[in-house]
Chain A
Amino acid sequence: QVQLVQSGAEVKKPGASVKVSCKASGYTFSNFDINWVRQATGQGLEWMGWMNPNSGNTGYVQKFQGRVTMTRNTSISTAYMELSSLRSDDTAVYYCALRVGTYYYFAYWGQGTLVTVSS
């Protein structure tokens, strides 16, 4: 069965960077786009962007342009999301999510990674 397993919680200082991993299993990694969605505590869901594991092509929401980088290592079926110049309002749970069809809804999700930004 499809599984997305994310790396553990992180605590970072303002201005630092964080890199969250998402290891995929149960399907052919290169077949489906990996997306990243974040959720601040008690808040709603915010889509950040996508990555095609086959080509490495990416697309980022304008809000995160210049601060987010989505990459992958196909040999270990793992996607990464790196967010730089962290601010306190980047404190959130970050999810990877899989688009399995033509359309951008998300049938599979990782368990989430809490990133806390605090001095």
Chain B
Amino acid sequence: DAGVTQSPTHLIKTRGQQVTLRCSPKSGHDTVSWYQQALGQGPQFIFQYYEEEERQRGNFPDRFSGHQFPNYSSELNVNALLLGDSALYLCASSLRRTGSSGNTIYFGEGSWLTVV
């Protein structure tokens, strides 16, 4: 049973460029959330997707956008990259069913983005 998979694992981009990060949730999970973790900080919530729609959004500018596909996989897009966007981008998958025992949020290993 594959866990949460993310790609690419590492990438370097130039200021002003655009980047797309990808995530496949754990088998059986239908909800994907994205987090940004800057060096020395805790992860910060970017947004969450369920049923192919953005359901919640954190305090991130519109340069950050996403998508969820019918197979529950998701993409995170960042436009007009800034140096400050350099961070570890984490994908978290979960099952949107309340009251179920054993449901846990699982994180992928992340995508390390460096903007130069």
Partners in one complex: no
